[in-house]
Structure 1
């Protein structure tokens, strides 16, 4: 089963959920606010993409923490993502063999669910 990680009121998460409902794809939703990701999950997601791709540079948390002004190492990015799950680009979609970050309708259509 596909797992969608994010927060309920995020527009991109809503689009992803709508996509799965429309295409009759079973999914499980995991709310970052109730169940934040652990270090193992963050590392698994980063392995299949990159740590930098997980960091949401457009979000309010990134701006609030003034991370644009910091020199971020991979270790510091990992620490921030663990401490502040709202920094993670949403949604994170886990399939059997793939991790999708963010909502991209074309990418979703091309994925074998």
Structure 2
């Protein structure tokens, strides 16, 4: 499993603690240095929708006025932007093959990752 997170993110720390506590192996990747590839982003969009992939509480989201810009962007343009700017991406993103989760919801993690 690849785990795209940020070491100063409290939500990422909770997700890692959950995975560690259940012995789930993962490769930790700093999302700010290495954003998820387009394939992973597209998988996440298929499951959650485009808006869920944006870190709407982040500084970059506000500085770039993404709330308004998203209205006129195509999905391809949004994916291009997310794939090049990890600070815009909602975190953490955990991916293993065709399975992906965005953010940390303990119930979702129990259903998705505790079984692996």
TM-score, with length taken from structure 2: 0.80
Which residue matches 2:89?
88
Aligned residues: 112
Tell me the distance in 2 between the aligned counterparts of 1:79 and 1:97: 20
Q: Which moved more, 1:84-93 or 1:40-49?
A: 40-49
1:1-113 matches, within 5 Å, as: 2-70=1-69, 71-73=71-73, 74-111=75-112, 112-113=115-116
Which stretches in structure 2 are left out of the alignment for 5+ residues? none
Which stretches in structure 1 are left out of the alignment for 5+ residues? none
Tell me the distance in 2 between the aligned counterparts of 1:39 and 1:110: 25
TM-score, with length taken from structure 1: 0.82
| Aligned CA-pair RMSD | 1.9
Check conservation: 2:19, 2:25, Cα contact below 8 A. yes
Tell me the distance in 2 between the aligned counterparts of 1:95 and 1:19: 16
Q: Which moved more, 1:65-74 or 1:4-13?
A: 65-74
Tell me the distance in 2 between the aligned counterparts of 1:92 and 1:98: 10
SS at match of 1:82: helix
Check conservation: 1:55, 1:77, Cα contact below 8 A. no
